[in-house]
Chain A
């Protein structure tokens, strides 16, 4: 099967090599004012990147929106402005997607999933999704520890010679009663140091109309208890040394208060559940380059997360369910890299993470965990061939205050990647990668009173990928074209799932699943001139995923597609832009899915096709002003990613920004 897919990819794209071969740096220079070459086309492992300037072309409001066009990505969006948004990459499940912010992983030891809806784009410079991990040699060992890694980079100040200070004031408003002001202040404090301070507020009633299917109603209902109020502040201090040594210190605090509208239950759609977050992290990083080309990178982080959940309609004696969760993380990492010879580079990284969870649950274990990551990476660069190999060791030790802790484990995880560039003149590259990684059971999986199981094994994900990348710049009205194609085979074993044990009141976590995943990711990007003033840009991604349950041949779900996994997904973004204005159209098509593991007609969730439109204009006055108008769900489609969690219909957002 892998072989067949692979040969299909080859035949599809070998023709790409027939494109013209002439390009000169001269042309590159000339056209560079009108376009920026897409990043990461020829990455070692498949990587997709989006940077700040493209957020508006996608009508994106948060990180989840910004990456929804990526191929291989399956967003689980529970709807609405405050709804949980997680991302599963190549059907491996959201717990296998790591999220890294400025070089340091951001984690949730309790649930193992990061809500990407919570990260707004005000302070984001770029987002890159790596299948496997980044090819960066000098990086923390933990950067190798996920099946895929979403790397978010914050805005860093860059000043022209004469400027010492910049203030950006932004304001967003629109549907859902959204009021979202933000302020960004960048200042050069000394010759080599800078300050970047960002603060934003968000307030929204979150209400929207939706159609309930199946309860016999013929009018639209209103989603209530979806209000959201957040505040995020981030201050970062940068020091850039003369010899590219770099020091960075960041402090980030955010708090939010949100209603949880819950599933739309027929005949009883009201919820009064509420969630409060208070999250603080401090993070610092130092990178040093020695004259002998030895480099080292040190990272450290402290994070504290507080979460409170209430359900005033819970029918217990107290008349309310009120739970508080506190998580603390301490993290440090040291990484070294050294070029041994012209063709061989080595890196070694060693990280320690300490996590602790505290919650007011009866008979709770109060677990803490120390994880040591060590990674050795070897990179060979021959003429046209490059090979990266990483061996990661993860050693996990846990302690509990009640009962017995989950047994310690030490796991070796290998990755090997290779690229091959067959022609000097043509930007065509083949790539292969293999990664065997796991996700550790979360604190909830292990220790949640009654449902947790302390003897759970890790959930393993194995990935095989074969692909090719091609890019070309042209000396014609077409500026560039880039193509990527990857075929992959993944399998998940010892998948951690919850199953009811004895009765529906007692669910237990079990290592009880095997998934077999075969997929294809195709991507195209191009930009061309449309007359003298206008440019036309087009990007498209296609994903095919067959992700089937292979746990038990006797089961009724054997060989059935896993829940919420469409077979085909297409994302297209097209835009026309001038120097100051742009109009972009975004379209996502997802075929049907099943919401349960049994692929029966009664569990069918129809596919959807959703479009967004965005218009932007910039005024080049003394203080540059930009306006953006975005329409999400342009054709007012009624759809849902997750059944019983309807998505909003057409909505509008207006943004304004002035730079002083």
Chain B
């Protein structure tokens, strides 16, 4: 395993050095504005266990440092359901994608109260929604049934379903286009290897770009590059990273890379990696910046999810531990030193920040 990882790193460096010509020197026109509001607390989505209906929403209140382990259930008198997979805040609402229950919960983040529960089903069969992303008052939800649902965030209705590839996972938006990873994850060993490109004006799939096998993670940087992280087939095909230039929709680089998902903040992409490490990838130089972001020997058993508070620079890493017992969320400062940690529900995968 260790050898394998080393191989992946060598391959990564080789790969990036070949494409040195694509180095990014152009700065974006303006520094992104820091949010002015102050944080009130964080929500942590804990997916729970498959078929156990125990997805929970932990709320950590910054003001009195109090923790509510299942805010959603205590406010709404019912559970979120089975396998909550993604959570984001957009505008004044919080959106929670619940995979096996096949629902989208639209929640008031200040109270935790559900505003609406949308069913994502076709003829009683769950579409198995996975992720959600937003652009211009529309939400885009990838569904395992090979579709992306288009949500109008004002009316809170699904307006249409766009057909994409097999078992789509993460999505990213760049240059007015939506990039969707078609994992084909339910067709082992015949995984997918494409990313669908959807023009957000026409809401049509315009092309499919070939990427590494079993793509799951998709993320865009501020320079217009889209990074696709593929898991491989657990055997001869290794995990990989494909970089797509969203201007041309051409593949820039494709290298072996270990890590299944990346969260980008500014020029840095954070990648939860095996061995409890948090790799840092520089999206400007396209080089691995650091083997481990954590500098104070804090032990994380199974890094599972990640979020960066753009306001404070704090990095939150969720630890799924042994994936069957309660998880933990670690808060690190910019330098990678642990500030504190909180104990949450099973398999914490997402952290969102609530403003005052």
A residues sitting closer than 8 Å to B (CB atoms) are 214-216, 262-268, 270, 272, 313-317, 362-363, 450, 499-500, 502-506, 555-557, 595-598, 600, 602-603, 643-644
Contact = CB atoms under 8 A, between A and B. Distances in A.
8 contacts: A263-B53, A265-B81, A267-B119, A268-B100, A268-B126, A270-B125, A315-B144, A502-B274
Contact of A268 (B70, B79, B82, B167): B82
B32 interface: no
Contacts of A598: 325-326
A266 B144 contact: no
Contact of A266 (B101, B185, B231, B346): B101
B56 interface: yes
A552 to B, nearest CB: 10
B325 A214 contact: no
B73 interface: yes
B184 interface: yes
B298 interface: no
Contacts of A555: 322, 325
B101 A315 contact: no
Given A214-B78, A216-B76, A317-B184, A270 B119 contact: no
B51 A214 contact: no
A598 B186 CA distance: 31
B240 interface: no
B323 interface: yes
B69 A602 contact: yes
Contacts of B144: 315
B256 to A, nearest CB: 16
Contacts of B348: none
A558 to B, nearest CB: 11
A362 B188 contact: yes
Contacts of B82: 263, 265-266, 268
B196 interface: no
A595 B260 contact: no
A644 B322 CA distance: 22
Given A214-B78, A215-B79, A266-B81, A317 B190 contact: yes
A644 B53 contact: yes
Interface string B47-60: 00111111010000
Interface in B69-102: 69-70, 73, 76-82, 98, 100-102
Given A216-B78, A314-B186, A597-B324, 8 more contacts: A265-B53, A266-B81, A267-B81, A268-B101, A317-B190, A362-B188, A363-B189, A450-B234
B146 interface: yes
Given A266-B81, A267-B103, A315 B167 contact: yes
B128 interface: yes
Contact of B325 (A264, A268, A557): A557
DSSP majority for the B interface? loop
Contacts of B49: 596
B335 interface: no
Interface of B: 49-54, 56, 69-70, 73, 76-82, 98, 100-103, 117, 119, 121, 124-126, 128, 144-146, 166-167, 184-190, 231, 234-235, 260, 274, 320-326, 345-347
A500 B126 contact: no
Contact of B51 (A263, A556, A597): A263
A270 B100 CA distance: 11
Interface centre among A267, A450, A555, A556 (most CB of B within 10 A): A267
Contacts of A506: 234
Contacts of B77: 216
A364 to B, nearest CB: 11
Contact of B323 (A214, A317, A450, A499): A499
A214 B185 contact: no
Given A215-B78, A267-B117, A268-B121, A317 B166 contact: yes
B186 A266 contact: no
A316 B187 contact: yes
Contacts of A500: 320, 322-324
A214 B119 contact: no
A262 B324 contact: no
A499 B324 contact: yes
Contacts of B234: 450, 506
Contacts of A214: 53, 73, 78-79
Contact of B102 (A268, A499, A557): A268
B324 A266 contact: no
Q: Most chain-A Cβ atoms within 10 A of its Cβ — which of B76, B77, B81?
A: B81
A316 B186 contact: yes
A595 to B, nearest CB: 7
Given A215-B81, A216-B78, A643 B189 contact: no
Contacts of A314: 186
A270 B101 contact: no
A556 B326 CA distance: 8
Nearest to B304: A503
Contacts of B346: 596
A265 B78 contact: no
B49 to A, nearest CB: 8
A331 to B, nearest CB: 35
A556 B98 CA distance: 27
A556 B234 CA distance: 30
A315 B322 contact: no
B34 to A, nearest CB: 33
Nearest to A312: B125
B347 A504 contact: yes
Nearest to B103: A267
A264 B52 CA distance: 9
Given A267-B117, A268-B100, A503-B260, A313 B126 contact: yes
B98 to A, nearest CB: 8
Contacts of B190: 317
Contacts of B100: 265, 268
Contacts of B146: 315
A563 B339 CA distance: 34
Contact of A596 (B126, B187, B188, B325): B325
A263 to B, nearest CB: 4
Given A267-B102, A268-B126, A644 B184 contact: no
B72 to A, nearest CB: 11
Given A315-B167, A317-B187, A362-B189, A597 B53 contact: no
Contacts of A313: 125-126
B38 to A, nearest CB: 31
Nearest to A501: B323
Given A315-B145, A556-B325, A602-B54, A266 B187 contact: no
A508 to B, nearest CB: 11
Contact of B53 (A266, A270, A317): A266
Nearest to B51: A263
Contacts of A450: 188, 234
A603 B76 CA distance: 19
Given A214-B53, A268-B102, A602-B69, A597 B325 contact: yes
